[in-house]
């Protein structure tokens, strides 16, 4: 099992969508912390993502981090591997799951 604590491992102040938009973007988070875990497409180790401890989550950050990841590696593998933990905002887990599930809708 791999654990990612966004507040400690990335930033307590998530930013916008793209790296070019500014600091701590969803794209930066995805490239630095998430994509390396999916380098081996056959890997099925659980990834626990702790969402607590940040100042807030813009939709663009979450969608770019998780939705775009699902578009890259496939939504099924994301749904299988990710487990989200949030005591401060329980509804966040559903929101991120929805971004993954709807990632292939254009």
Partner 1 sequence: MLRRWHTPEWKLRQRRITRKKHKREGVWRTNTPIQQSNGITVEDGEIKRPRVKRASINVDVPKKFSITNNTEEALAMFNKGFGHKEAHQEVYVNMSEVSTMTPDAILYLVSQLHYYDRLPSVRIAGNMPADPECRRLLVESGFTKYVRSNVPEPEPSAKILSIKSGSLVEPEIAKQVIDFSRGHLGIQRNKNSKSIYATIIECMANTRDHAYGPEDKDRQWWLIARYNDAEDKVEFAFLDNGYTIPRTIQQNFVEKAIGIDSSLIESALNGKFRTRTRKRHRGKGLPRMKQYNDQGFIKDLTIVSRRAFVRCNTGEVKNTGSRFHGTLLTWSLS
Interaction site with partner 1 (CB under 8 A): 11, 13-17, 21-25, 54-61, 63, 67, 88-89, 99, 102-103, 105-106
CA proximity to 15, closest of 74, 65, 51: 65
Q: Which is nearer to partner 1, 43 or 104 (CB)?
A: 104
Q: What is the DSSP letter of 35?
A: G
Instruction: Using the minimum distance from each CB to partner 1, give the nearer residue, 20 or 41.
Output: 20
Q: Rounded CA gap, 6 and 105, in Å?
A: 27
Residue 20 C-beta: closest distance to partner 1, Å: 9
Q: Indicate the residue among 15 and 49 with the shorter CB distance to partner 1.
A: 15
> Shortest Cβ distance from residue 54 to partner 1 (Å)?
8
Residue 82 tokens, joined: 């990710």
Please count the CA atoms within 13 angstroms of the CA of 57 that sit on its side-chain side.
25
């Amino acid at each position: 099992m791999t654990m990612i604590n966004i507040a400690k491992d990335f930033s307590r102040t998530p930013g916008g969508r793209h790296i070019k938009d500014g600091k701590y973007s969803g794209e930066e988070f995805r490239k630095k912390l998430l994509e390396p875990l999916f380098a081996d497409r056959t890997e099925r180790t659980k990834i626990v993502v702790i969402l607590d401890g940040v100042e807030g989550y813009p939709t663009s950050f979450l969608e770019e981090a998780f939705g775009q990841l699902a578009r890259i590696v496939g939504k099924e593998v994301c749904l299988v591997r990710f487990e989200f933990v949030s005591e401060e905002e329980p509804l966040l887990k559903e929101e991120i799951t929805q971004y993954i599930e709807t990632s292939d809708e254009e």
